[in-house]
Structure formats: structure tokens, C-alpha cells
Amino acid sequence: MSFGSPRRHYRRTDSTNERARELAEAGAPSGAVVTAAEQSSGRGRQSRAWSAPAGKALLYSAILSPLEERHGLLPLAVPLAVCEAVESLAPVSCRVKWPNDVWIEEEKVAGVLIEARPPRWAVIGIGLNVAIEPEEFPAELRWPATSVGRGVSVPAALAVLNVRLGEAVGLAADRVLEEYGKRDALRDLQIAWEGGPKGSESGRGRADGIDEAGNLVVETEGGRRLALGAGEVHLTLD
Ligand code: BTN
């Protein structure tokens, strides 16, 4: 499949994910995309805000409908598409910080927020920093941030992301896991977490890849292996 048609573009809206949710609820077709030059209430994961200076980031929400069982690893497939899109635009290498932040080196270039009403639809929200200057990022960011830069334009990023996302949502689960494994930025790093499973609500350990359900596998200092789900857990690098 491919994304980008139909497309609705706003000069300014509260959140493209919100606009796309409305369209999805109203029966918009799979592949439809909402973009904006600027958001007044851009949403990030875990109830955080997402902001970007007008016209300098790709603010993108795509509708996938219906949501099928084969889309179970969508949260991992989407950042892979972003990595491939960015790498086709600029001579950089991207990796994924589980579950779905995209990094160039150790700096975040894109974030993904998927909101879904299974089995009817998923809204795939992507914020990709395209031409934001270092001094334009807010000081209080959790992770250092970067942009694609190198003269790349937002329309060029949109065109290539539409294609790569279309390919990624069709990938079989084993391919998603294989490709993700090659781009896993946390592998072997010492991490700390909060909001983990009962009995291991917080802890520290070594990131040891991703399991078949898309959970982050960690080995604790005591040698226990745990699977952390993306929904609740808050990670920090130790
Ligand atoms: C994150 O890193 O926490 C996810 C950020 C996702 C931001 C994008 S920008 C386009 C779309 N609309 C939103 O309100 N959020 C997503």
C-alpha cells in the first residue's frame, strides 16, 4: 500500500493526530494523511507535548484502516520506515531507541505516536525534525535533539516517508524484528526503568534486544530476564 492520498494540509492546527482521528472515525480510507506546518498542541508519547517551529518539521499523521493482526508490530515497523526515509534524504545512519524514537547518533530526529481504535483504525503520528536549527530546540528536552538538515525540505521528506511507510506496514513480523535488531540503539546499554511489570516496577539492567511481541528484553543485575512493555514503562540511560 502507499500513503499520502487523500492528503489534508493545515497551516496551523492543534494536533494532526487529532484531525486524523476525526477523519478515521468518519471513515477516511487507509492511506489518508494529515499534515500541518504548525501545531498548537502537538502530542508526544506518555502525555508529553511535542512542539516544533512552524514549517521546519514534518508533522504527519497517517490513517491505517482496518487494523489487522498482521499489524501487531506496527510500533516497531513505523520507526524503521522513518529511518529509511531519512537515510534516503541525507548521508546519515539512523537507529531506533525502543520503542519508536529515531536517532541520528545519540540525538533524536523523530518521534512516533500511534493512537488506535482496533480493529477499525490506527493513526500513525510522526514528528520528523527536518530543518530545525540547534538553538531552536527547547532547552528542557528529555533527549538531545537534531534535524535531518543538509538542505532537505519538508515536502521531500513527506514524499519519501509516504513510500517507506507504505512498505513498512506490509512487512512480515519476522522481517520487522530482523530489521529492528539491526537498528536497536539500546542493545547492550545499561538502562533504568520505572512503571515496569508487577514485582519489577523499577530497576536497572542491560538491554538485550526485543522479543516477538515487541517488548524490550532486559537482563537485571541479578541475572533475571524481564520483558518491558512499551505502554507504561519510562526509560532512562543509566
Ligand atoms: C514522541 O516522541 O513522544 C512522539 C511525538 C509524535 C509527534 C507527532 S507530530 C505529528 C503528530 N501529531 C501529534 O500531535 N503528534 C504526532
The 10s digit of each residue's pLDDT in 112-137 is 999 999 999 999 999 999 999 999 99
- The answer to the question of residue 1 being in a domain is no
139 and 173 co-located in one domain:
yes
Q: What is the pLDDT of residues 152-200, one digit of tens each?
A: 999 999 999 999 999 999 999 999 999 999 999 999 999 999 887 787 7
Are 43 and 138 in a shared domain? Answer: yes
Q: How many Cβ atoms from other residues are within 10 Å of residue 78's Cβ?
A: 29
The verdict on 27 and 127 lying in the same domain is: yes
Q: What is the model's pLDDT at position 237?
A: 81
Q: Ligand 1 centroid vs 177 CA: distance in angstroms?
A: 23
Cβ contact 130:154 at 8 Å: yes
Entry pTM: 0.96
* Phi, psi torsion values for 172, nearest 5 degrees: -70, 155
Q: Which domain holds residue 75?
A: 7-183
Q: Report the atom number in ligand 1 closest to the C-alpha of 15.
A: 14
Domain assignment present for residue 11? The answer is yes
43 Cβ below 6 A of ligand 1: yes
Residues 126 and 224 in one domain: no
Whether 91 maps to a domain, the answer reads yes
CA of 69 to the centre of ligand 1 (A): 24
pLDDT-derived band at 20 (thresholds 50, 70, 90) equals very high
145 CA to centre of ligand 1 in angstroms: 14
List the strands of the sheet with 107-117, edge to edge: 7-10, 33-36, 57-64, 121-129, 107-117, 101-104, 94-97
Statement: residue 13 has pLDDT above 90:
yes
* Residue 1 to residues 31, 64, 166, 211, Cα–Cα distance (Å): 8, 10, 5, 27
Q: Among 13, 41, 43, name the best residue to mutate to test ligand 1's pocket (greatest count of ligand atoms within 8 A of Cβ).
A: 43
Q: Are residues 156 and 212 in the same domain?
A: no
In whole angstroms, what is the distance from residue 160 CA to residue 190 CA? 34
C-beta 101 within 6 A of ligand 1? yes
Ligand 1 centre distance from Cα of residue 41 (Å): 10
CATH classification of the domain holding 105 = 3.30.930.10
39 and 102 share one domain: yes
Nearest atom within ligand 1 for CA of residue 126: 8
Looking at the DSSP bridge assignments, the partners of residue 228 are 216
Per-residue pLDDT at 141 exceeds 90: no
- 48: Cβ below 6 Å to ligand 1? yes
Task: Specify whether 19 is located in the same domain as 118.
Answer: yes
Which atom of ligand 1 lies closest to the CA of 41?
Answer: 14
Q: Is the CB of 61 under 6 A from ligand 1?
A: yes
Protein residue closest via CA to atom 11 of ligand 1: 125
Same domain, residue pair 21 and 118: yes
Kindly give the residue spans of alpha helices, DSSP state H, lying in 90-237: 154-169, 173-182
Per-residue pLDDT, averaged over 94-109, amounts to 95
d(Cα 100, Cα 112) in Å, to the nearest integer?
A: 6
* Number of compact structural domains in the chain: 2
Domain boundary among 183, 203, 228: 183
Q: Output the pLDDT for position 208.
A: 96
Provide mean pLDDT across the span 138-164. Answer: 93
Q: Which of 183, 207, 229 is the last residue of a domain?
A: 183
How much is the pLDDT for 108? 96
Q: How confident is the model at residue 230 (pLDDT cuts 50, 70, 90)?
A: confident
Do 119 and 194 fall into the same domain?
A: no
- The finding on whether 34 has its CB within 6 A of some atom of ligand 1 is no
Question: Domain for residue 149, yes or no?
Answer: yes
